[in-house]
Amino acid sequence: MKNNTFILSVCAIVMLASCSTTSENEQQEKYKVISPLITDTIITNEYVAEINAKQNVEIRSRLSGFIENILVDEGQYVRQGQTLFNISSKEYQQELQKSKAVLKKALADLKAAEIELDNSRKLLEKKIIGRPEFDLATAKLETLKAQVEEAESDKAKAELNLTFAEIKAPFEGVINRIPKKDGSLVEEGTLLTTISNNKEMFAYFNVSESDYLDHVSSKGDGKSKFVSLILANGILYDQAGIIETTESEFDRSTGNIAFRAKFSNPNNLLKHGASGKVLLNTKLKNAMLIPQKSTFEIQGNVYVFLVNANNTVIQQRVFPIERLPHFYVIEHSLDKSAKIIYEGIQKVKDGDKVTTQTVSSFDLLNIKQESK
């Protein structure tokens, strides 16, 4: 019995000594603290983009008739002025011949009227005829001149219609789907195909008002005009784009404004109607950065633990603006010399007394560089 009592006493002493050592170690533990990093940084935002060709137009028939020849294939590259389709033109050739004949007759009648007017003038001078007869010959001549002009107009129209029977490419580009085939009957305005000039492509994307203002304020360095493009398969496009223009007003329903970026397309990889994501870099000057590992959330709000001059822990809310790899960009709600517990925030609580070890801004900057 005495032996058992002795053993228990020894165990209690060991346990008390162990607890005393642990308590002493906790009191001696040093918590690393850092101050917010004030620096210029770049944030990258993604925007869903719609990709359009620089030129993309519909090729439609200007005439009614049968397709006699299709001289290109879908996906074929064509030159400007190259003939794409032939529409049956016999009817228009006949109209042209008829208009030429009408014009020829009108010119002959006009010539006869000019001779008649000249004779009437001589007879009037000799007082063989009166003024009314001369005026009548003059009016006849003017009527025939009008008929000649009308005939010339009809001839020009017939010639123009005949040219419409041969449909040519308005610019160099790639032919898209051809829904009609040889022998198909088409009406005026029927869609024959579309053609795209894919040498340069436009990416349209919508930006919020705040992002727009940030972009405009950082345009001075010139670099903010350049953007990157993520393709639909997640691959980064190998050509950099440049922001050319923006729309003149915000969309009231969304609060966004559209940007247009231009990308070269030397390998014809981008196609009209494709989609992707534009990466837009915006430079923030004198941004306040804190490590994400120094923060914690309570009901959706972000907090840090500060250490005051008395080495007392104070819970402080912060307001993130942007999220970078391993860092938050926050509003300037903290003093730049504030001490934030960098590691071990799960071990402390508001009001604790702690011993600190300062991490320099240089070390924090190294953390920022390694996180890129």
The domain spans of the chain are: 30-39+287-370, 44-54+198-285, 62-88+165-189, 89-161
Block means of pLDDT (10 residues each) for the chain, length 372 residues? Answer: 44 46 54 90 89 95 92 94 91 86 90 87 82 86 90 89 90 94 92 95 93 75 76 94 91 92 94 94 85 92 93 93 88 89 90 88 57 46
Residue 127's CB is within 10 A of a number of other CB atoms, namely: 7
Which pLDDT does position 1 carry in this prediction? 45
Q: Tell me how crowded residue 368 is: count the other CB atoms within 10 A of its CB.
A: 18
- Name 24's bridge partners: none
Residue 220: its pLDDT value, please? Answer: 55
Instruction: Find out whether 229 and 217 touch, Cβ atoms under 8 Å.
Output: no
Largest CA distance in the chain: 171
| SS3 of residue 343 by DSSP | coil
pLDDT in the model for residue 279: 93
pLDDT of res. 218: 67
Cβ neighbours for 70, distance < 8 A, ≥ 6 positions apart: 84, 85, 178, 181, 182
Cβ atoms 229, 263 nearer than 8 A:
yes
pLDDT of residue 372: 46
Both tokens of residue 278? 């534009």
CATH number, span 89-161: 1.10.287.470
Q: What is the CATH number of domain 62-88+165-189?
A: 2.40.50.100
Question: What residue type is 25 in one-letter code?
Answer: N
**Cα–Cα distance measured from residue 117 to residue 123, given in angstroms and rounded to the nearest whole number:** 10
- What region, left, alpha or beta, does residue 9 occupy, with left being phi > 0 and alpha being psi -120 to 50 degrees? alpha
311 within 8 A of 356, measured Cβ to Cβ? yes
Q: Are 69 and 181 in contact (CB under 8 A)?
A: no
CB 370 within 8 A of CB 40: no
3-state SS, 148-167, equals HHHHHHHHHHHHHHHHHCEE
CATH 2.60.40.10 fits 30-39+287-370, yes or no: no
According to CATH, the superfamily of the domain at 44-54+198-285 is: Efflux pump adaptor protein, beta barrel domain (2.40.30.170)
pLDDT for position 231 = 95
Give the pLDDT confidence score for residue 6 in this predicted structure.
42
**Which residues lie below 8 Å from residue 355, measured CB to CB, with a gap of 6+?**
27, 28, 29, 30, 31, 311
